[in-house]
Structures are given as structure tokens and as C-alpha cells.
Structure 1
Amino acid sequence: MPIKTCIFDAYGTLFDVNAAARLAAAEPGRDALAAVWPQVARDWRLKQLQYTWLRAVAGQHCDFWQVTQDGLDWAMEAAGLDDVELRERLLALYWELPAYAEVPDMLAELNARGLQAGILSNGSPDMLAGAVESAGLGEFISASLSVETVGVFKPHASVYDLVEAHYGCARDEVLFVSSNGWDAAGASGYGFTTAWVNRAGEPMDRLYAKPHHVLTDLTSIPDLT
């Protein structure tokens, strides 16, 4: 079946999750963070994801904002940063993450071709609404679907079910795009056509399924439809 709907993961796929630490580190008086911000950004993201998996396995769900805060607290402690004001600044910036440079034109091209573009994310509804508005993507995104509807994080199948339920499309009519290899693999196993945006050039995850396409950025997404 031809692709009718393009669904994107949000954080790390459309929105630059490293930007909060990078932007804060560039502010005056942030010398301590400036010396370690790549480590903070990396650890923050890693722990954020690990906590979603562990909570899903344990049946201890909370919203994504909680694991975002918990991940930052771990990352700051690991970097030796004990600064309440800095913590609040980093969290505030997380609500204003910029989109990657190619995102607006890519989404505009999808819309011009008559394709719907939506988000399927671990993010809570208010976080997603803030990110979409801050990045100026509202005119391109038809829906932001959150795991909060089902109360478990990706890659649980009930999360991917939200796409079919909302759009009324068959699985093979969906192109699912994620910067997380495990997420793209999960969506492949579910039955979506998938693209892994492997910006960091990481190895393929050894999982039960693999992404159909591997890209370095989002520019060529319209050509996969």
C-alpha cells in the first residue's frame, strides 16, 4: 500500500535534545556547565530513555516530564554540578527545544504532497504542545499522539496502536520515523514502514526487527513516500 501518513518521534528526531545543555552552556556565568555540557546532554538523554524502559517493564508508569527531571538530576550529579538555578534553567530550555534545521522544509514538502504528518511520542501532551509551538511547526503537524493515552512508554505495541486508531489507516500505509534505533525497530516489528535517522552514525541495534531505511537526517523523508 502507498504511504499516506508520516509519523515522527519527537525528541531527538524533530527536536534537538542536546540544545538545552548547549544553549545554557553558552550563557554568561555558566563556566562549570560549559566544561562538561556534552557529557551532561549525553547522560541526560540516556537516563531519560533508560528510565522509560525500566518503568515500562516494572509497570511503574509516570509522565515523561518526571523521567526528564530524574534523568537531569542523575546527569548533573554525575558531572559534579550542584546548582538549583542551573537545573531550573535547563528544564525551562527543554520546553523550548529547537527543531533540526531541515525539519520545516521537510514537513512542508510532505504537506504539499498531500501527506499527513503527525507525532507519536513518549512526551506528555503539554510537553509536545509546547515543543511544537516553540519550534513553529503547528501548521504542519496534524496530531501529537502521546503515550499518556495508554499509560506505558514505547516500544509497547499499544503505543503504536494509537496511530491506526487516530488516523484510521492500515499499518503498511504508515511511514514511522525515529532517531532511536530501538524505536524504529519496534515500529518495524509492529508493521510500519520505518526510517531510522541515525545522526550519530551508531551501529544497528540487535533486536527482533530492523528499520527499513537508515538516514543521516530528515531531508530525504518525502522521497520515501
Structure 2
Amino acid sequence: MNPKPRPTVILFDVNETLLDLAPLKTSVGKALGGREDLLPLWFSTMVHYSLVETLSDHYHGFGEIGTASLMMVAKNQGIDIQYEDAKEAIVTPLRALPPHGDVIASLKALSQNGYRIISLTNSSAVGVETQFKNAGLTDLFEKRYSVETVKKFKPHPAPYRMVLDDLGVEPNEVLMVAAHAWDLAGAKNVGLQTAFIARPGTSLYPNVERPDYVVSDLEELVRALK
């Protein structure tokens, strides 16, 4: 039995948690001369430099950081790529990612069970608006939040606190759902409940408190929250 109180708000990460990165694997691989295996390295580089920007009090949009990160990975692999080609390989597919197969039905079930459905992403406000429109998710969410508002990337406390302040809720009323251990570490630090979705290639970080829920997909989370 989970000891936490029943949350009233479920706060979703977007990229990889809700949206499938498979089209990015294809486009990144093509830009890197067929090296689709470099997608995880590109993604981790993008997350790394989003944290560098946050800690050094700078801010560029996630798409800009993603483009720069692709150019860095290419250079380190001895692959020549131009800025506009790198941007095209990242921004266009990033805004047209399909939802994972368990997403739409699970979001509807959670909403029907009385939960408020919210999102918080490192993507820009325009970016996530386009993503949700293309993925057919817009009407399933009460609100969308972007770190662009506070210009601090997750897992910095500011984005999570922004959501709490705007919604007027206490931290333990909110369940953060993500496929990234670093995101959940940030949410837990602010006092949110957390749920880890074990998407392929993701894993827990052993040096922080274990999430309140660890599930293989959103359907399992729906069952756990009933």
C-alpha cells in the first residue's frame, strides 16, 4: 500500500515520457551518417548543456541547445554537419513526435478518475503547443507549462515551484510522472510525489530516494492510482 495521500494533480513530462522519440532516432541518425546509435548520446548531451545554461545563468531554447548538441556530437565523431542541417534534423521531427501507444487511453482514464492532467516540459511554449497539436493531446490537458517562463531547466526547483504557485496546490498534492530519473529527482526535491515510467533505455538513479511509483507503462500507473 502506497503511504502517500492521493494526488489531485498529475504533472507529466513530455519528451520520451509521453512522446516517442523514434522519429528523432531516424533524423539524428541520418544527419550523423547513419549512426542512429548516437541518439542517446545526443539526448544526454542536450540535457547536460541545458543544465550548464541553468547553472551559469544563461538561457537558450531547448531546440537551440539540441541543435548545438548535435553539432558537438558530430564533431566528436568526425562527422561534418552544418548548423541549418542540424537544426532541421532536430526541430522538425521534435515537434511531430507521436504519442506512445499507452498514452491517450491512459490520460483519458486518469481524467475520468478525477485527476487534473497537467504537463511541464523543457521544450518551449510554442514547441510543446505544436507537439500536442500534432500528437492529438491538446484537449487532454488542463494546462501546459514550459520552463521558458522561468528560464531554468528541470531539474532546477524553479519550474516545479512555478507550477505549484500557478495552480495554488501543495507539493504533496502533485504527482510528477517522467521517464527520466533526473526529472523525478528535481520533483522530489521540491516535495512532489513521483512516478517513474520505465520507457526502453531508461533507468532509475540509485543515489536518490526511490520514486513513489515505479511502473512499466502508463496503463500500470492508472491501475496503481485507482
Q: With structure 2 as the length reference, what TM-score do the two structures score?
A: 0.87
Contact 2:119/2:141 (<8 A) preserved: yes
Aligned-partner SS, 1:45: helix
Distance 1:130 1:202 in 2: 25
Shift of 1:61: 1.9
Aligned-partner SS, 1:184: helix
Residue 41 of structure 2 aligns with which residue? 43
Distance 2:137 2:37 in 1: 27
Q: With structure 1 as the length reference, what TM-score do the two structures score?
A: 0.87
C-alpha deviations, 1:54-107, integer Å up to 9, x for none? 111111222212111112212333444434475354221111111111111111
Distance 1:128 1:103 in 2: 16
Residue 17 of structure 1 aligns with which residue? 21
Distance 2:32 2:190 in 1: 44
Contact 2:31/2:86 (<8 A) preserved: no
Residue 156 of structure 2 aligns with which residue? 156
Question: How many residues get paired?
Answer: 219
For structure 2, which runs of at least 5 residues remain unmatched after alignment?
none
Shift of 1:221: 2.2
Distance 1:31 1:176 in 2: 33
Aligned-partner SS, 1:10: coil
Residue 65 of structure 2 aligns with which residue? 67
Distance 1:111 1:136 in 2: 16
Residues 1:76 and 2:74 aligned together: yes
The 5 A counterparts of 1:1-12 are 1-12=5-16
Identity of paired residues, percent?
Answer: 25
Match of 2:52 among 40, 51, 54: 54
Which shifted more, 183-192 or 119-128? 183-192
Shift of 1:46: 0.8
Aligned-partner SS, 1:100: coil
Residue 194 of structure 1 aligns with which residue? 194
Distance 1:31 1:66 in 2: 16
Root mean square deviation of aligned Cα: 2.2
Q: What amino acid sits opposite 1:177 in the alignment?
A: V
